[in-house]
Amino acid sequence: MPTLVNYSGGDGHHRRGSLCSMDPTHLFYGLDVYNRPCKRVQISDPYSPFSVEENNPSIEILPDECLYEIFRHLSSGQSRSAASCVSKHWLMILSNVRNSEIESKKVNNLSSKDDEQDNDGYLTRSLDGKKATDTRLAAIAVGTSARGGLGKLSVRGSNKVTSIGFLAIARGCPSLKSLSLWNVPLIGDESLIEISKECHLLESLDLCHCPSISNMGLASIAKNCPNMCSLTIESCKNVGNESLQAVARNCPNLQSILVKDCPLIKDQGIATLLSSSLNLTKLKLQSLDITDLSLAVIGRYGKSITNLSLTSLRNVSQKGFWAMGNAKGLESLTSLTLISCYGVTDLSLEAIGNGCQVLKHMILKKCCFLSDKGLISFTEAACFLESLQLEECNRISQYGILGTLSNQNSMLKSLSLVKCIGIKDVDQETVDFFGSQSLRSLTVKSCTGFGNVNLAMITKLCPHLHNLDLTGLCGINDKGLIKLLNTCTVGLVKVNFSDCLNLTDEVVVNMAKIHGRTLEVLNFNGCRKISDKSLAAIAENCLSLKDLDVSKCHITDFGVSCLSNVVHINLQVLSLSGCTLVSNESMLSIKKLGKTLLGLNLQGCNLIISSEIESLVVNLWRCDVLS
pLDDT tens-digit readout, 95-110: 566 666 565 543 333 3
Q: Tell me the C-alpha distance between 343 and 318, whole Å.
A: 4
Beta strands in 171-328 (DSSP E): 178-182, 204-208, 230-234, 256-260, 282-286, 307-311
User: Do residues 470 and 527 both lie within one domain?
Assistant: no
Inter-CA distances, 604 with 526, 551, 600, Å: 13, 9, 13
Domain check: are 433 and 292 in the same one?
yes
Considering the domain architecture, whether residues 93 and 235 belong to the same structural domain is answered as no
Q: Is 417 helix (H, G, I), strand (E, B) or coil?
A: strand
Look at residue 4 and tell me whether its pLDDT is greater than 50.
no
Segments of 129-266 assigned E as strands = 150-156, 178-182, 204-208, 230-234, 256-260
What are 480-511's pLDDT values in tens digits?
Answer: 999 999 988 889 999 999 999 999 999 999 99
Q: Pick the most confident of 78-82, 263-267, 453-457.
A: 263-267
Helix (H, G, I), strand (E, B) or coil at 310: strand
- Residue 197's alpha-carbon distances to 123, 171, 184, 202, 222, in angstroms, are 21, 9, 21, 11, 11
Q: Is the pLDDT of residue 303 over 70?
A: yes
Full domain range(s) for residue 154:
123-488
Nearest to 296 by CA among 265, 328, 269: 328
Q: Is the pLDDT of residue 51 over 90?
A: no
Check if the beta carbon of residue 146 is closer than 8 Å to that of residue 27.
no
In this predicted structure, what is the pLDDT of residue 488? 86
Q: Are 258 and 337 in contact (CB under 8 A)?
A: no
Q: Is residue 450 part of a domain?
A: yes
CA distance 84 to 80: 6
Please check whether residues 483 and 495 belong to one and the same domain. Answer: no
Give the whole-angstrom CA distance, residue 188 versus residue 164: 11
The SS3 call for residue 142 is helix
Poorest-confidence range of 16-30, 426-440, 584-598, 612-626?
16-30
> How many angstroms separate the CA atoms of 582 and 593, rounded?
15
Residue 617, pLDDT above cutoff 50:
yes
Name which of 532, 393, 405 is nearest 465 in CA terms.
405
Residue 236 lies in a domain: yes
| Residue 117 within a domain | no
User: Residues 510, 513, 517, 523: is their CA dihedral positive or negative?
Assistant: positive
SS3 83: helix
Over residues 250-280, the pLDDT tens digits come to: 999 999 999 999 999 999 999 999 998 778 9
Residue 61 shares a structural domain with residue 204? no
User: Average pLDDT of the chain?
Assistant: 84
Contact partners, residue 223, CB within 8 Å, separation at least 6: 196, 246, 250
Of residues 210 and 120, which shows the higher confidence score? Answer: 210
Task: Judge if 156 and 270 occupy the same domain.
Answer: yes
Provide the phi-psi class of 312: left if phi over 0, else alpha when psi is between -120 and 50, else beta.
left
Residues 393, 396, 402, 407: is their CA dihedral positive or negative? negative
The C-alpha atoms of residue 395 and residue 291 are separated, in whole angstroms, by: 25
> Are residues 603 and 549 both part of a single domain?
yes
Q: Tell me, yes or no, whether 531 and 383 share the same domain.
A: no
Domain boundary residue among 459, 488, 517?
A: 488
* Per-residue model confidence (pLDDT) at position 144: 73
Whether pLDDT at 17 is above 90? no
Q: Are 349 and 355 in contact (CB under 8 A)?
A: no
- Which of 77, 111, 145 finishes a domain? 111
The residue from 488, 508, 531 where one domain ends is 488
- Residues paired with 624 in a beta bridge: 599
> How far is it, in rounded angstroms, from Cα 103 to Cα 124?
26
How far apart, in whole angstroms, are the C-alpha atoms of residue 464 and residue 365? 27
Residue 21 has pLDDT above 60, yes or no: no
Query: pTM of the predicted model, to two decimals?
Result: 0.82
pLDDT tens digits, 365-416: 999 999 999 999 999 999 999 999 999 999 999 999 999 998 888 899 999 9
**Residues 88, 232 within the same domain:** no
Same domain, 266 and 278: yes
Q: Which residues contact 557 (CB under 8 A, 6 or more apart)?
A: 581, 582, 583, 585, 586, 589
Q: What digits encode the pLDDT tens for the residues 322-361?
A: 999 999 999 999 999 999 999 999 999 999 999 999 999 9
- pLDDT digits over 136-181, tens only? 888 888 777 666 678 999 999 988 889 888 888 888 888 899 999 9
pLDDT > 90? residue 427: no
Greater confidence (488 vs 67) lies with: 488
Q: Say if residues 500 and 473 touch (Cβ distance below 8 Å).
A: yes
pLDDT number for residue 426: 84
* Consecutive H or E run containing 125: strand 123-128
What pLDDT, on a 0 to 100 scale, did the predictor assign at position 86?
57
Cα distance between residue 595 and residue 621, in whole Å:
10
Lowest mean pLDDT across 414-418, 455-459, 559-563: 455-459
What are the helix (H) ranges across 337-451? 346-355, 372-381, 398-405
Residue 139 maps to a domain:
yes
Does residue 260 lie within any of the structural domains? Answer: yes
Q: What are phi and psi of 407, to 5 degrees?
A: -70, 115
66-75, 187-196, 443-452 — which is least confidently predicted?
A: 66-75
What mean pLDDT comes out for the span 24-31? 44
Please, which pLDDT band fits residue 5 given cuts at 50, 70 and 90? Answer: very low
| Crossing angle of the two packed helices 134-144 and 163-172, in degrees rounded to 10 | 0
pLDDT reading at 539 higher than 90: yes
- At 490 the pLDDT is 86
Radius of gyration of the chain (CA): 32
SS3 of 365, please? strand
In this predicted model, which residue has the larger pLDDT, 43 or 585? 585
Across the range 211-220, mean pLDDT stands at 96
pLDDT of residue 209: 95
- Secondary structure (DSSP) of 458-469: HHHH-TT-SEEE
- 95, part of any domain: yes
**Structural domain total, the chain:** 3
Amino acid at 382: A
CATH number at residue 400: 3.80.10.10
Judge if 106 and 169 occupy the same domain: no
Both 134 and 98 in a single domain? no
7 domain-assigned: no
Q: Is residue 187 part of a domain?
A: yes
Confidence grade of residue 306 (pLDDT, cut at 50, 70, 90): very high
**Helix H or strand E encompassing 391:** strand 387-391
